[in-house]
Structures are given as C-alpha cells and as structure tokens.
Amino acid sequence: MRSSLLCFAFVWIFSHSQAQNLKRKMRPNDVYHYKSISNAKIAPAGDWVLYSVSTPDSAKNKKHSDLFMASWNGKETIQLTYSDEGESDADFSPDGKYISFISSKKVDSIDNAQIWLMDRRGGEAHQFTKVKQDLQSCIWSPDASKIALLMKDEDPKEKKKPKTKAPIVANRYHYKQDVEGYVDSSSTHLYILDVKSGKITQLTKGFYSESSPTWSPDGSQIAFSSNRTEDPDRNSNSDIYVVDLKNGNLKQLTTWKGSDNNPVWSKDGKYIAYARSTADDTYINYDQSILAIMKPDGSDQKLLTKELDRPISNFKWAKDNKSLSFLVDDDRQTYISKVDVVSGKIEKVIGGDRSFVDLEINSNGGYLTAMSDPQHPTNLCTIIDGKLDKITKVNDEWLNKIDLATVTGFKSKSKDGTEVSGLLFKPSDAGTKKLPFILFIHGGPVGQDEFSFDFNRQMLAAGGYAVAAVNYRGSNGRGIAYSKAIYSDWGNLEVTDLLGATDYLVKQGLIDENKLGIGGWSYGGILTDYTIASDTRFKAACSGAGSAMQLSM
C-alpha cells in the first residue's frame, strides 16, 4: 500500500512538472487573445445573465464587442451578436421579452448609433430608432412601455451640411477633451421614447447636461445628476434632480457644494441612494465617494459610509430595501460590502487578494459580479451565501498555456516613515537570483494597483524582469488623507515613496541595483520624469504621455 502511494505521488509530481514545462512565457502579441467582459445584467426572472465581450481584431487594429448570455449556474453560454461594429449599453426589458442595445451598425443613410431590439422568443435584432443625435444611453421604464434616452443636442452644422469644413469655434472653458478632441457647445439631455408608437419627446432642455438617469419604481419620475451652476466647466458641483414626466416639473434634491451623483431608487420608492463627494470642489480630484440616502423630496439626507474612509461604487438596493450592497476600494483590493440603512452597520460580504468590479443583485438575493486576481483575468461570478462560482471562462483557452509570473504583496517605508503598499511581479522560474528591475508606475494619481490581472506587468515579467507596482501617496484605497497628501505638491512625496519601495526591494536582495528601469503612463509618466530628475540610478526610463514642463499645469 505504501509503495503504491509513493508511486502515485511520484507520477503526480512528474506529470505536474511536465505540464508546467509545456507552458510558455507571455508574448506581446498575446494581447490579441485577451478578451474583456463588461456591462453584466441579470434577466428579470433571474435565470440568465447578459454581458458584453470585447475582443481585439489584429487585422483591423481595433476592438469589437459582442453580446453573450450565460445561465445563472454557468452551464450554458449563448453568443447573441456577431457584428463588427460592436454593441454597448445592453439590457433586458423589465418584462423579459426583449434585449436592447446601442449599435453603430449602419442600415440606412444615418451614421449615428441607434437602439436595436432583439426578441428573446426568436429572430434577428432589428434597428428600433432613427435618431440624428449622439445617443449615449438608454434605460427602460419599470413597465417596459418607455425608454429614457440620453442624447446630445443635434448639431446645427449637420443640417446645413456645408461644402467646406466648418471652423472650430471654442466658446467654453473646457473646450478640449482627451480622446474626443475639441468639445462643442452642445449639451446632453433626457428624452422619452414611447416603445409602442416610437415617438420621442424631449424632457429636459437648456445649457446644462444630465447624466445617470434612473426611473422611480412607479415610472412617474426620473432622477438624474446635473451640474447647473453658472459655469459647469469650472467646477464639479453636480446635484441630484427629479423630473415629473406628466408636467415636466424639475426639483433639485441636493445642495452639497461638492458632487452628488448616480441616484438609485429603492424598490419601494421611499428612498434614493446616491454617491456624495467627501470634500467640496477644492479637493475634488483627490476625492472618494460616500454612500448616502435621502427621501425622494430631498429630505432626511443621511451619509452611510462616511466613517469607512474608503471610496465606494456600484451600490445596489436589496430586495427588502433594508440594505445597500456596494464595492469598496481598499488597500490593493476591491471587496463587496453592505450597509444597513437604518442602523448604519457595515459588514464585508466577500474580499481577499482580488478585485471585484461591477455588482448586480438577483431576485433571489444572490450577487452577480466580475472578479479578477493576479493569475486570472476578469470573469463573471455569482455569489450565494458567501460561495463564489465562476460562470464565464473567456480567457481560459489561451491563458492555460501561459507560464504566468508570481505576484506578491509587499510594504515599504519612505524616508519620512510613511508605510507604502506595493506588488512585485517575478518570473515563475526566477528562484532566488537578483533580477533586473522595472518600476512600472500607475497613472491618476488617484487610482491604485490591485491584486488583479495585469497584462502589461505580466508581459514585462515574462522578459525576465522583476516588476513593481507601488501605490504612492495620492493613490486611493488608503483613505482621503493619503490621497490628498500630494495636493499642490506634485512630485515630492510620490517620488519619496517610489524610491523607498525601490530601496526596500534592493535591501531584500530581490532586484539588481545596477539594472534599474522605470516607466509609466499619464501621471505615471509625469512621476517617471520627476524620479529620474531626483535619482540617477535608473539606467532606462519611458515616460508615456508625461508632461515634463509643469509651469503650465
């Protein structure tokens, strides 16, 4: 018996070792295999999950997205669309009969993206609208008879169609936007689409824009967020409003001098939950959201997570309206938590060295979320009574062939004694030898590196490097004071933290102090510039989109 067990153990160890040896290192062109999941929604009956999968197209050098459905237990997956144009903002109609989405697929002379409907009883999706404005989102009414639309004002230049290109007219403070380019003077407004007749009625007008619309449970009102100060481009003072669909009357519910966003009605219509900034507009770029509730008339406003001192997001009401579940950004992780709206008691639902993104609640009380950890890209998961089950495996086929880097957390101290958290990526076969080093800096600055799958750092580690991610002061996940520490003092404390982490890894014998590299993108590029101007040990640097001249910032 003993000899049989020894033989079995030897065979298992040998086969496991052989399987590991068959794996290869990650390559740059693996990015074309890397798929991402987003916008998960639960069917009204709770039995299916709708989601979007984005896939890179190497031939066309772009990404396209398709819609899929997975059964709640993950045993069945159905691809719904195969369009090159891609689909976005997909959802089930509240009666469960249709799936709506926005697509730029062109079937007539109109170039704008439109709403498409797919009958779940069978048949191809068909174009449902022919709007000439920029359609940004669509939200079903509770009885499925209407759809709220967010659309930009129609561009008057499009009506005239001049033979020559119109000149660029800058008539606002915020006249240019990353990726988008020059920003025109048009605003984004609410419209109501009657599903039966197809008639579209404009609900809001004027200079101001609306965002995050949400229907009241009885379908009589829509709550939304809007910055209606004298010049919205110069501040972030958004508030929550409600508009009555019968008479168009508008009521302002909040007056906080910071930002109030993302209203969500309770299922009984008695409360509205929303996200409120911690500070006023002075520190808005370093802020973290607080979960708050109020009655639909704006009274009884209550801050539920002020003492938590962590950013919250993706909050959802429980079926019984007694609690709200939400995501919390903590030190190198994002976990799921919930709060009792009466007592204010907060409890963690599930966490660990991983990152949860997105959150929905099934009618049976189960959670739908998207989860990632250092060895696994984002997949959809269900959580029932604390048990987590993965229901998608969109990257497993190619990733199972890859020998991924190991990822460990570490904490270092800066010269002023501040403790700083980081992550270290190392090739799996590195052993104990000192490795050439790359300090890969995140942007923001308010953001953080987490215990989640990181393609770029995995790829660099595959080249034989130790790669560090450091959450310098200015990052989130450590409280508002940690984020605000760099206000009006860029490049000072952050560089101290980055160098402190580098020194720690050198002292631990993990990296070769004579082979140090550094790089980052956006604010990571800016900190690359600051760091190499402060320390000459780095032999190579890559500053991506990092401004080196700060006098004009």
pLDDT tens, residue by residue, 249-296: 999 999 998 899 999 999 999 999 999 998 777 777 888 999 999 999
Residues 6+ apart with CB under 8 A from 1: none
Q: Distance (Å, rounded) from C-alpha 466 to C-alpha 506?
A: 11
pLDDT of residue 159: 57
The residue written with tokens 């719904």 in the block is 80
The three-state secondary structure class of 307 is helix
Residue 20 pLDDT class (50, 70, 90 cuts) = low
Burial 298-324 (b: 16+ CB within 10 A, else e): beebeebbeebebbbbbbbbbeeeebb
How much of the chain, in percent, has pLDDT values that exceed 70? 93
Q: Evaluate if residue 16 carries a pLDDT over 80.
A: no
Q: Distance (Å, rounded) from C-alpha 290 to C-alpha 492?
A: 28
Reference 402, options 467, 468, 455, 466; nearest CA is 455
Q: What is the mean pLDDT of residues 351-362?
A: 95
Any idea what DSSP says for residue 233? G
Q: Distance (Å, rounded) from C-alpha 372 to C-alpha 450?
A: 10
pLDDT of residue 61: 85
Any idea what DSSP says for residue 473? B
pLDDT of residue 91: 95
How much is the mean pLDDT over the chain?
A: 91
Q: Distance (Å, rounded) from C-alpha 225 to C-alpha 550?
A: 33
Phi, psi at residue 230, to the nearest 5°?
A: -60, -40
Task: Locate 238 and state its tokens.
Answer: 């958004």
C-alpha 51: how far from its chain's center? Answer: 15
Q: Which residues pair with 346 in a beta bridge?
A: 339
pLDDT of residue 221: 97
pLDDT tens, residue by residue, 186-208: 889 999 999 999 999 999 998 89
| Domain 404-552 homologous superfamily, CATH | Alpha/Beta hydrolase fold, catalytic domain (3.40.50.1820)
Q: Evaluate if residue 12 carries a pLDDT over 50.
A: no
Reference 78, options 46, 120, 137; nearest CA is 120
Q: How far is CA 201 from CA 60, 135, 143, 248, 250, in A?
A: 38, 14, 18, 11, 16
pTM for the model stands at 0.90
The residue written with tokens 């008879």 in the block is 145
The number of CA neighbours under 13 Å toward the Cβ of 306 is 10
pLDDT tens, residue by residue, 78-121: 999 988 878 889 999 999 999 999 988 877 767 788 899 999 88
Q: Distance (Å, rounded) from C-alpha 119 to C-alpha 65?
A: 20
Residue 231 pLDDT class (50, 70, 90 cuts) = confident
Residue 481 has a CB neighbour count (10 Å cut-off) of: 10
Q: Evaluate if residue 242 carries a pLDDT over 70.
A: yes
Residues 6+ apart with CB under 8 A from 329: 288, 310, 311, 312, 313, 448, 476, 477
8 Å CB contact between 512 and 435? yes
Burial 541-551 (b: 16+ CB within 10 A, else e): bebeebeeeee
How much of the chain, in percent, has pLDDT values that exceed 90? 73
Q: Evaluate if residue 14 carries a pLDDT over 80.
A: no
Q: What is the mean pLDDT of residues 360-369?
A: 93
pLDDT of residue 109: 64
C-alpha 58: how far from its chain's center? Answer: 24
